[in-house]
Amino acid sequence: MLLRRTRHIWKRKVQGAIFSATAMQDLLDEREKDILENSMGFRGQWEEHRRFQIEQLKSLGLKADHRFLEIGCGPLTAGIPIIDYLEPGNYVGVDVRSSVLNLSWAQIGRNGLSAKNPRLIRSDNFAAAELDGVLFDYIWSFSVLYHLTDEILDSLLANVAKRLAPRGHYYANVMIDMDNSRWLEFPFLRRTVDNYRAIAAKHGLDVRELGTIADLGFRLTGGERTNPLLEFSLRA
């Protein structure tokens, strides 16, 4: 009887320890997700932003052997599934925030993607020097362009024009019907699609409007769902 009771007590202790460890891990995972979402800028939207971006890119023709540049990669909301999908060495992410790229490297390790050899670059000028001469089939920016002043947007599109392969495409969503405001150190700047066309034309880029991200399958109901997705390509 004593042995049976002792075993029962130890069983309860082991179960309690397992429960405590699981609860602690869940808490740590939730805190990590909060940090990642704060860095992304959209609380409670992590999964949908990730799902939409990788599925949209595949629908736009992204293949595993394509070279891919993400401008404003942030904490790799889209980057992790993109890195996983692409062949090794084909993903490059650029961001202005060192702290966020530290989170990104941690995510690469946690997801077991180091062997995919992604490259992350912290840069104030879209890695103009680091990527000099490198061409990409796909360039992508999600929720980035409307944070840029006209001068910085002009610099970005100048760099994009130099980075695109002859049949490459640059895709970015833009804000056209939300009020100007700020997020952290970044402004929210409303422009028309024609404003983007005018700046792109200076650098030999044509612009095609593909519809709103809601039209393309984005499932959330916030104001961003009305953002058009634009396709930039080198003028023939």
**pTM score of the predicted model:** 0.83
Tokens of 92: 């490059």
Range with the lowest mean pLDDT among 26-40, 78-92, 178-192? 26-40
CATH number of 45-234: 3.40.50.150
> Which value, to the nearest 10 degrees, does the dihedral of the CA atoms of residues 136, 141, 145, 146 take?
170
Reported as a single tens digit per residue, the pLDDT across 139-191 is 999 999 999 999 999 999 999 999 999 999 999 999 998 776 655 556 789 99
Structural domain boundaries of the chain?
1-40, 45-234
DSSP state of 229: E
| Confidence tier at 25 by pLDDT (50, 70, 90) | very low
CB 227 within 8 A of CB 174: yes
